[in-house]
């Protein structure tokens, strides 16, 4: 029985990056032997175990054979006879197919170290074409390792996977997971660009006119990177580029369901879009229109969403310098107005409503405050 550190941990060590999770492969062992040694089996599909003390993942060396459509259509074979090289061969990229033994020696049968040095993302073997999820993985790896280039042969295989339409068999939750990880990376727009180049974006989001918005998307994400936006905000920013199509409600829901987009991202996008016109024309709005906008944005009940919406708004129009300056002025003005509006004693207004409905009395009091400020 031999144990090797594998995958991202080895790759990141070689690249001088911080190692987050450590995964190990076990060669020459069996399920029964691992359990006997105290390892806890997890999952149903793979022979994977948790170490009894460190809780790191240890997987028996295995091979895979494609037996049906989709990313789950594999038959797993794990036994004492499976070699380390056979296990590494089933992995996606050469940079992820490097192992490290107990003495600190690297085992690199597919020249992943060379590809790290040359900054190349290259598939390990012809079996790469069998797993459609790898299209999304390569796309997000491009966002993370943005100095790397995808090898031309690997690009061809990505296009082949898309032509086979096996991505349609991938669970929507898995698609969203890969996209969200990509939105967490620095150069998120490179993930979108890779998906576009191989045809996957058209398959996943046929409603988006990427060519038309390509320049703006890049500028928006560069602004988001500079401003250190969260992946949730970057995801909402991405979906903003669907709305120039004037999608109807049922089509919107179909898109969000298709990609398993979380409610928080969906609502943030929709709320920003529904107020986009007023935000762009904020300088021209009268007091009553500004107050109606604040109500529409639900800023009295949910003030936390204000910052997120304005971040999306700023990034969305960042490709137009004049509009960006307007957005920053709008943000400053709205902050000022909200500060004064929130000082109102609503309880006192409710007691002295002068025959008005309580909600109307509060509205009129707020309107008077805005008239004095503007």
Q: Which residue ranges make up each domain of the chain? A: 1-118, 276-373
CATH number of 1-118: 3.30.460.10
As a whole number of angstroms, the distance between CA 224 and CA 62 comes to 41
pLDDT values of the chain reduced to their tens digit, one per residue, 374 residues? 999 999 999 999 999 999 988 999 999 999 899 999 999 999 666 789 999 999 999 999 988 765 455 455 556 777 889 999 999 999 999 999 999 999 999 999 999 999 999 999 999 998 888 889 999 999 999 999 999 999 999 999 999 999 998 888 889 999 999 999 999 999 999 999 999 999 999 999 999 999 999 999 999 999 999 999 999 999 999 999 987 655 566 678 888 999 999 999 999 999 999 899 999 999 999 999 999 999 999 999 888 889 999 999 999 998 887 788 888 899 999 999 999 999 999 888 888 766 678 899 999 999 999 999 98
- Tell if the pTM clears 0.75, that is, is over it: yes
The pLDDT tens digits of the residues spanning 63-115 come to: 876 545 545 555 677 788 999 999 999 999 999 999 999 999 999 999 999 99
Q: How long is the chain?
A: 374
The pLDDT tens digits of the residues spanning 151-178 come to: 999 999 999 999 998 888 889 999 999 9
């Amino acid at each position: 029985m031999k144990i090797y550190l594998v995958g991202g941990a080895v790759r990141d060590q070689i690249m001088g990056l911080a190692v987050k999770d450590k995964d190990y492969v076990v060669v020459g062992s069996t399920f029964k032997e691992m359990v006997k040694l105290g390892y806890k089996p997890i999952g149903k599909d793979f022979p994977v175990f948790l170490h009894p003390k460190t809780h790191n993942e240890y997987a028996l060396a295995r091979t895979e054979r494609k037996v049906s459509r989709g990313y789950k259509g594999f038959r797993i074979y794990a036994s004492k006879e499976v070699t380390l090289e056979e296990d590494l061969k089933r992995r996606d990229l050469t940079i992820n197919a490097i192992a490290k033994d107990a003495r600190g020696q690297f085992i690199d049968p597919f020249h992943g170290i060379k590809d790290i040095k040359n900054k190349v993302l290259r598939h390990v073997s012809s079996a790469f074409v069998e797993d459609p999820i790898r299209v999304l993985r390569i796309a997000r790896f491009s966002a993370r390792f943005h100095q790397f280039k995808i090898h031309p042969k690997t690009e061809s295989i990505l296009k082949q996977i898309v032509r086979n339409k096996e991505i349609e068999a991938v669970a929507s939750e898995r698609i969203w997971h890969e996209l969200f990880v990509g939105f967490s990376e620095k150069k998120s727009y490179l993930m979108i660009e890779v998906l576009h180049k191989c045809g996957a974006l058209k398959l996943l989001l046929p409603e988006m006119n990427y060519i038309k918005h390509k320049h703006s998307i890049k500028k928006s994400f560069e602004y988001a990177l500079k401003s250190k936006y969260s992946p949730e905000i970057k995801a909402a920013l991405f979906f903003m580029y669907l709305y120039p199509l004037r999608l109807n409600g049922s089509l919107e829901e179909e898109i969000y369901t298709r990609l398993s987009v979380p409610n928080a991202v969906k609502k943030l996008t929709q709320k920003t879009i529904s107020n986009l016109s007023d935000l762009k024309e904020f300088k021209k709005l009268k007091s009553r229109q500004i107050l109606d906008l604040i109500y529409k944005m639900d800023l009295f009940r949910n003030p936390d969403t204000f910052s997120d919406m304005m971040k999306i708004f700023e990034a969305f129009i960042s490709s137009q310098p004049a509009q960006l300056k307007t957005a920053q002025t709008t943000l400053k003005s709205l902050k000022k107005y909200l500060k004064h509006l929130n000082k109102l004693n609503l309880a006192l207004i409710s007691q002295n409503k002068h025959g008005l409905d309580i909600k109307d009395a509060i509205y009129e009091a707020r309107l008077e405050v805005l008239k004095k400020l503007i």
